[in-house]
């Protein structure tokens, strides 16, 4: 029984990734369940074994893109590392999410507003939780003097997320991008800014 469930989950994950690929390239309205099924090599009717509708497929793709990403943020916020290590872990986790979930996180960012409000509620909670956890990390760093006291935690959290999302779009398009080097560059810029520390 467990083996059967495992096979089903593997097939369902493949269906989610196929839907993510279609939505990422063509957008929610431009993609069709027929094209998603074609990516999987199955008949269109068989796709309903995994999704009841194209709308449900979009929801599952968005959840796949953000669920683990949000959980990792909770883990980062809960550990006792200094701010620099937490920021590095945050940027690394965020950028790697674009590689590990294929196009799903891009679809979450670009297409989730096409879902009705009741289906977006849980996604909004996960996204808000991510931002709030990051704000908390930054606020703690301000309070403990690890960063300058004039930092606005909400603005800073949004800025970190914005930088990561912008690079995430490029990661989806370019499988050869070095995410380790990119993580170091983004974190270095966020920590040091543009000015020479000597001036």
Tell me: the pLDDT tens digits for 10-67? Answer: 999 999 999 999 999 999 999 999 999 999 999 999 999 999 999 999 999 999 989 8
User: Which pLDDT does position 193 carry in this prediction?
Assistant: 87
What percent of the chain has pLDDT above 90? 76
Other beta carbons within 10 angstroms of residue 42's beta carbon come to: 17
> Mean pLDDT over residues 101-124, rounded?
89
pLDDT band for position 99 (cuts 50, 70, 90): confident
Mean pLDDT of 83-100: 93
Higher pLDDT, 173 or 186: 186
Residue 107's pLDDT is what? 92
| Cα Rg, the chain, nearest whole Å | 19
Global pTM value: 0.80
Tokens 């810029």, residue located: 189
List, as own/partner pairs, every contact residues 140-143 make where C-beta atoms lie below 8 angstroms and the sequence separation is at least 24, other chains included: 140/83, 141/83
Q: What angle do CA 137, 143, 148 make, to 5 degrees?
A: 90
Give the confidence band of 172 by pLDDT, cuts at 50, 70, 90. confident
What is the predicted pLDDT for the residue at 191?
93
- Token pair of 176 as six digits: 């050869």
Please, what is the average pLDDT of the chain?
91
């Amino acid at each position: 029984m467990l083996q059967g469930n495992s096979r089903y989950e593997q097939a369902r994950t493949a269906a989610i990734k196929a839907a993510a690929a279609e939505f990422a390239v063509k957008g929610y309205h431009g993609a069709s369940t027929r094209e998603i099924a074609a990516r999987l090599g199955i008949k269109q009717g068989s796709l309903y074994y995994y999704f009841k509708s194209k709308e449900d497929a979009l929801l599952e793709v968005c959840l796949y893109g953000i669920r683990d990403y949000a959980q990792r943020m909770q883990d980062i916020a809960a550990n006792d590392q200094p701010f620099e290590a937490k920021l590095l872990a945050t940027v690394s986790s965020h950028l790697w999410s674009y590689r590990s979930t294929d196009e799903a996180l891009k679809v979450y960012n670009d297409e989730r507003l096409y879902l009705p409000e009741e289906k977006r509620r849980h996604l909004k909670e996960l996204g808000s939780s991510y931002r709030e956890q990051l704000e908390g990390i930054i606020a703690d760093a301000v309070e403990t003097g690890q960063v300058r006291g004039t930092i606005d935690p909400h603005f800073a959290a949004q800025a970190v997320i914005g930088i990561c999302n912008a690079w995430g779009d490029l990661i989806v398009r370019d499988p050869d991008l070095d995410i380790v080097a990119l993580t170091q560059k983004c974190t270095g810029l966020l920590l040091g800014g543009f000015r020479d520390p000597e001036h």
